[in-house]
Structure 1
Amino acid sequence: MKILKIKKSGLAAIGICVMSVLVSCNDDFLYEEPLSSLSADNTLVSVAGFETYLTGLSWAAREEYSQDDNTFFITNFPGTDVGEDAGAEYFTYRNWISYLTSVTPEVGRNWNWAYGTLLPQANTVIVYANKEENNGIWESDAQKNAVIAEARFYRAYAHNFLANLYGGVPIVDTILNVPKYDYVRAGRQEVYEFAKNDLEFAAQWLPSANQTAPGRISKGAADHLLTELYISLGQYEKAIESASRVIESGDYRLMTSRFGSSQSESGDVFSDLFKDGNFNRSSGNMESIYVWQFESFTVGGGGTRDGNQAVRNFGPFFVRILDPNGVPNVPTDEMGRGVGRVRGTVYSLYEIWNDANDIRNSPYNMRRDFHYNNPNSEYFGQVVPPKTSAEDTLRSMYSYPRKIEGEPWNLNNTSGRTSKDVYVYRLAETYLLRAEAYLRNGNTDKAAEDINALRARANAGLISPGDVSLDFILDERARELLFEEPRRRTLIRMGKLVERVKQHGLLESSRNTIQDYNGLWPIPQVVIDANIGAELEQNPGY
């Protein structure tokens, strides 16, 4: 059973009650108290009420991914070293100068998700849990602090997310009952420090992985994100310690043998990690740390735009491929129906795969061959030959990681969506974060050990300490986490976006137009314009 089986009507009420906290009226005689509503004043008066809000927070966090069809994907992949636009009508980071501005859609949407959805709900839980009149509802301080810790994790997640994309941003640590028009930007390091403090509290009070339901936050998730924050703050010893708490806790381990519902099928341990039903600990998956839950035929089980949209965005528009007689391919349960929104680069699809034994590049994990699949075609089952049309090769038929494939959403294979869950954090990334911290702290021996833990699982050749560099870690992240990690945020955080796009970007126009100032996103212009009580400074270059 997944945690996000909740009704949309309840979620809408949570959103409304958060807004009711933000705006109030001075005319008391106009105030009505709907006693059956999910307003904060009515709901956050019992442990069960706080659990309702924490479930809403899980939903709000998943909206980063499912708020619409493509914001998550455009935000994280095209215009990086691993991805680029595919379709001719898609035009994002092909020209950085003209595309990335303060009015670019995803620049505003991500800001609005963090400040308008996740932070208000997290702060509502924190403020109400600390109210003196609620002291009597808790069985112990530990119970109260665990609730606050989960909300503080999400608050830290949002601030880290914002700082990684935009640099310095306003810190929002409470709820307001009047409009505010004089926000100012805190320094980027100050934002990281604020998020770090939240996470240190969260890591102390959150339950272990074995005590949490799927989709809920555990101590390991807090320590994983804390590792990234410590690296951003230059506190490498602390980053090593927090990552080690996850790796050596006994709660997690890299999966090195077949497991779960797919172990009787053809495949390998890496493909098992991405099979439907194998994302959560109930399947035997001890590598999973934090997972967004998706479930077909369940109201609220898929977010605003129902389902996992990876197939739609990453999958080629294969139904546009015709056999020699003009018969088109058809959507299938296995491949779904992609529209070729984002494709891999030469770097991510070919150049990084320099070890023939690496199972992450096996046919179970990378789809490189295609067949005519329409039963009405006389070429049914035959291999589709290489195409010469740019539209075909860029958009309709290209290699991709099979981790995006899954059971179609609501069993509709034309939907372009699946019911597959989504990793936010898994232990493989914790190893890579610790390797980065070791490298930055001058210990390449230990960094190589952590990288080799993943390479040994993948049956790839082991590396020596002299091989370790930030670029090698980014290469290994691409091999292990391709189309999983939010790549743009990783590159911005590491200060490598501009350099890596110039080196590995797919399109010449993208490589030639990216500028040094594109290492951060602009602040949305609508936000600057609305903040009439103080100057909200724009990032240089925009």
Structure 2
Amino acid sequence: MKKILSIAITSVLMLTGCSDFLDEDLKSALSPDNTYTSTHGFEVGVTGLYEFARSEWNTWGGSDNAFTHGAATPYEILQIGTDLAVTGHNDGTLQIFDNLSYTPLTGLINSFWKFGYGLVANANQILEYSEKDVKWDKPTDKIGFQAEARFFRAYGYRYLVYLFGDVPYVDKVEDKFRVDFTRTPKAEVLNKMIEDLEFATANLPEDPDKVMVGRLTKWAAEHMLSEVYLMAGMPDKAEKAALDVINSSKFSLMKNRFGKEKEQAGDVFADMFRENNQNRTSGNMESIWVMQLEYNTTGGGGESDDWTKRAWVPKYWQLDGFVIADSLGGRGLAQLTPLTWWINGENFYDQEDIRNSEYNIKRNWYCNNPESEKYGQKTEITETLWTAGQLCPALTKFFYGVIDRGGDEGYGGNTKDRMKFRLAETYLLLAEARMQQSDLSGAAEAINIVRERAHAKAITADQATVDFLLDERIREMAGEELRRFTLSRLGKLKERTLKYNPRAQMEDKHLLWPIPQDVINSNTGAEFPQNPGWEQ
């Protein structure tokens, strides 16, 4: 499949003149002065932004990765310690986010700071060089590359403001080494993000069928703009942005079976997550932006990208009668086990809701080892097995993505493309925007469009509450959305975590992560206060 290419891009994605806490240690064999002189050079650089952005999932690196977190659970720490999941795996890196015992010295907290600012700084470099003497192939090249760079700058700040609140706003490559950064109020950063996304919306391509697979369009920018408007307390603008995407006629919720396995047992919700079914080229008209992570494919991902498969699949293979099999989700590690209140909640799913079908949540586990006397027998899920992470209901949306490792079946992660933005979430952003404007009938209408596809019962205006919306986002988006971000945006992080998660005794200080201590220590030229409650 033709994808966005990863061509030696990390060599030109480097920073200059920044303080230590904004520094990124990237490959620098090529000079930006020599690279950013033509359309081809900017194509290489912007391609690097796509690779850097998808590194939000990267675990242990790889020879071609622009960034690595150096830990097995980067995406999981933004799901755990909320109302969604706990860990069933004895992983010290993840446990401290499960029980909220992380500190300003925690490695993954520092890693996400570097990820956010690495993306910002590389976007700034492209923007700065685009204003110099460049040999453009077409008059529209300059503004097109600027639109992509500004989208990714906003994308980097999205992580930073959700996690840390007030953060330094940097919109240029610093000429001199600086140790005097100050924290910009979150509201100001959000306004800058809105400016970037409005620019991207106005200047990115409109037709998703005329861009390379995985490339941004104006609709991806407008989807994210809707979310950022909500973060900034502008629900009327958020509603308009969401409606622009919905009414564009470019996308539609998938309601009929599709893909190579459409004749096999299943349903349309499960089809969206099967191998090779994420891009428009497969017939998936719901995807707005798809990150390209397909394994062993030019422009795809590697073995260290996206281990969500391991995270959500239990360690069934430890039990007598089982062997590792990709049909059971591969080598699951139960880094995340769903909280019982929702996945086993008596009334959480409607009876006919396909998102609760066996095709989407595996609840029945049958011994699959043909050499075992238990072969074919059902193993019941018990509280003991669930707590140990050995057997629990599992989200099958993450079962797929197989790596051939010479007989070590199912060892690898989710090496398939990932839908980053899809239309179902746009409808849920629309519902959120209408709730903030007290339009509960309109909110219910938006939610019901998503529920109709799932064969769930329609709700009424009086049922359209923030808590119902958050429940619906679990039903639709569990494991896809960054749950911590959603709860933070809606002001429900502490309330719902305390209500539903017995392990996470959340305090006010946990509403934001601590600023990495290295950041504070290195910024000797100006006061750089720690987030409340994290002062040492």
Find 1:61's aligned residue among 37, 53, 72.
53
- Whether the 8 Å contact between 1:81 and 1:348 is mirrored in structure 2 is no
Paired positions, count: 510
Q: In the alignment, residue 374 of structure 1 is paired with which amino acid?
A: N
How many angstroms does 1:469 deviate by?
1.0
How many angstroms does 1:89 deviate by?
4.7
Aligned to 2:200: 202
- Whether the 8 Å contact between 2:223 and 2:245 is mirrored in structure 1 is yes
How many angstroms does 1:5 deviate by?
4.3
Aligned to 1:30: none
Does residue 432 (structure 1) correspond to residue 428 (structure 2)? The answer is yes
How many angstroms does 1:302 deviate by?
1.8
> What do the CA deviations read for 1:335-385 (whole angstroms, capped 9, x no partner)?
210111111111231226331100000111110111111121121121113
What is the SS of the residue equivalent to 1:409?
A: coil
Aligned to 2:32: 40
> What do the CA deviations read for 1:55-97 (whole angstroms, capped 9, x no partner)?
111000000111345343332111111111112454224433x
Provide the TM-score with structure 2 as the length reference.
0.91
Distance, in Å, in 1 between the alignment partners of 2:49 and 2:75 is 22
How many angstroms does 1:394 deviate by?
3.6
Percent identical residues = 37
Q: In the alignment, residue 100 of structure 1 is paired with which amino acid?
A: Y
Distance, in Å, in 2 between the alignment partners of 1:385 and 1:436 is 39
Does residue 346 (structure 1) correspond to residue 364 (structure 2)? The answer is no
Find 1:456's aligned residue among 446, 452, 458.
452
Q: Taking structure 1 as reference, are residues 387 and 345 closer, same or farther at Cα in structure 2, changes over 3 Å only?
A: closer
Does residue 472 (structure 1) correspond to residue 473 (structure 2)? The answer is no
Does residue 415 (structure 1) correspond to residue 411 (structure 2)? The answer is yes
Distance, in Å, in 1 between the alignment partners of 2:486 and 2:304 is 26
What is the SS of the residue equivalent to 1:290?
A: strand
What's the C-alpha RMSD, in Å, of the aligned pairs?
A: 2.0
> What do the CA deviations read for 1:171-222 (whole angstroms, capped 9, x no partner)?
1111123221111101111111110000000000000222222222110110
Q: In the alignment, residue 70 of structure 1 is paired with which amino acid?
A: A
Aligned to 2:366: 371
What is the SS of the residue equivalent to 1:423?
A: strand
Q: Taking structure 1 as reference, are residues 14 and 380 closer, same or farther at Cα in structure 2, changes over 3 Å only?
A: farther
How many angstroms does 1:138 deviate by?
4.9
What is the SS of the residue equivalent to 2:75?
A: helix
- Whether the 8 Å contact between 2:278 and 2:284 is mirrored in structure 1 is yes
- Whether the 8 Å contact between 1:150 and 1:206 is mirrored in structure 2 is yes
What is the SS of the residue equivalent to 1:92?
A: helix
How many angstroms does 1:392 deviate by?
5.3
Q: Taking structure 1 as reference, are residues 126 and 310 closer, same or farther at Cα in structure 2, changes over 3 Å only?
A: same
> What do the CA deviations read for 1:435-456 (whole angstroms, capped 9, x no partner)?
0000101111111110000000
Distance, in Å, in 1 between the alignment partners of 2:425 and 2:106 is 30
Q: Taking structure 1 as reference, are residues 277 and 447 closer, same or farther at Cα in structure 2, changes over 3 Å only?
A: same
How many angstroms does 1:139 deviate by?
2.0
Q: Taking structure 1 as reference, are residues 540 and 2 closer, same or farther at Cα in structure 2, changes over 3 Å only?
A: farther
Q: In the alignment, residue 180 of structure 1 is paired with which amino acid?
A: R
Find 2:80's aligned residue among 71, 78, 81.
78
- Whether the 8 Å contact between 2:77 and 2:97 is mirrored in structure 1 is no
Distance, in Å, in 2 between the alignment partners of 1:439 and 1:387 is 39
Provide the TM-score with structure 1 as the length reference.
0.90
Aligned to 1:222: 221
Q: In the alignment, residue 300 of structure 2 is paired with which amino acid?
A: G
How many angstroms does 1:299 deviate by?
6.7
What is the SS of the residue equivalent to 2:289?
A: strand
Distance, in Å, in 1 between the alignment partners of 2:380 and 2:228 is 47
Segments of structure 1 that go 5 or more residues without pairing to the other structure are 24-35
Does residue 504 (structure 1) correspond to residue 503 (structure 2)? The answer is no
Aligned to 2:131: 130
Does 152-161 or 67-76 show the bigger shift?
Answer: 67-76
Q: In the alignment, residue 49 of structure 1 is paired with which amino acid?
A: G
Aligned to 2:106: 104
> What do the CA deviations read for 1:501-527 (whole angstroms, capped 9, x no partner)?
01111xx342xx210221111111110
Distance, in Å, in 2 between the alignment partners of 1:241 and 1:414 is 44
Segments of structure 2 that go 5 or more residues without pairing to the other structure are 20-27, 59-67
Aligned to 1:26: none
